[in-house]
Structure 1
Amino acid sequence: MDCVFCAVVAGAEPAHRVLDDEAAVAFLDRRPLFPGHVLVVPRDHHRTLADLPPAVVGPFFLRVQRVSAAVERGLGAAGSFVAANNRISQSVPHLHVHVVPRNPKDGLRGFFWPRGTYPDEADAARIAERLRAALAPAEG
């Protein structure tokens, strides 16, 4: 596959998935700003937000909304940063929305994004599991 995100959606490329349904796939960014930095992609290939069919916009952004809440709840973050690039600074030409956990004085200033890595696969898997748990419907 030419698109790495399409390969992730298809299961041909490994990723720490936190959501996978008919509208979107969400997985940990390999080079996170902070642990728990998630990318949410539409299941079908669309390069930019403008290319996303109107009927898909609502369902897709409902998943972005759920992931944002899960990042905050699952990681105990004070808030989240949600953003998408269109063409400029878009490292993969497949629409993707960044959901980044935020806390006061976390060091993120403007659009200077110092990237890091997970210490190991076990740590990434643990964080993905916390986010999956936070996405699970509440029992009650």
Structure 2
Amino acid sequence: MAFRPLDAPYDENNPFARILRDELPASRVFEDEEVLVIMPLQWEHPGHALVIPKWPVRHLLDMTREEMGRVLHLATRVGIAQQQALGATGFSILQNNGRDQAVGHVHFHVIPNTERVPQNPVPRSELDRMAKQLSAAFPTDA
């Protein structure tokens, strides 16, 4: 488990910042001017996705109410896509601040109620296939 103090500075070279700058590959589900949704490199439940704000923000306490609302709204849309594409009967939204935060860029895990099939790492071909499947089911707005 990773423990990053809340007062740690933002690292411009964290993996999500690098993905946002197109320096690292990612299996993209959805993207707009403010938020990116990608598949994580490992999962316990197939269809697990990450919702990442595009601005440099270390943790939830650095976000405004409006920013939190925008990102959380998008996370619920991911949950809807998981239900449509995978037959999930529900989903969890998980977000860590300092405790268990492996990457020092705020992000929200959207974990579907799918059968537990741990993979670490998930092959890129499977990440891309799942991203495409969720993208096709992504609601235009909810």
Whether these two folds match at TM > 0.5 is yes
Instruction: Check whether the contact 2:77–2:139 (CA below 8 A) recurs between aligned residues.
Output: no
Unaligned runs of 5+ in 1: 109-113
Unaligned runs of 5+ in 2: 1-11
Report the TM-score when normalising by structure 2: 0.82
Instruction: Choose from 127, 135, 140 the match for 1:124.
Output: 127
Q: Partner of 2:22 in structure 1?
A: 11
Q: Partner of 2:106 in structure 1?
A: 95
**What is the alpha-carbon distance in structure 2 between the residues aligned to residue 12 and residue 107 of structure 1?**
31
Q: Percent identity?
A: 30
Report the TM-score when normalising by structure 1: 0.83
Q: Partner of 1:133 in structure 2?
A: 136
Cα RMSD (Å) of the superposition? 2.0
Instruction: Check whether the contact 1:34–1:116 (CA below 8 A) recurs between aligned residues.
Output: no
**Cα offset for 1:116?**
3.3
SS of 2:84 mapped into structure 1: helix
**What is the alpha-carbon distance in structure 1 between the residues aligned to residue 66 and residue 92 of structure 2?**
25
Instruction: Check whether the contact 2:45–2:116 (CA below 8 A) recurs between aligned residues.
Output: no
Residue correspondence of structure 1 range 97-116 to structure 2 within 5 A: 97-103=108-114, 106=115, 116=120
SS of 1:88 mapped into structure 2: coil
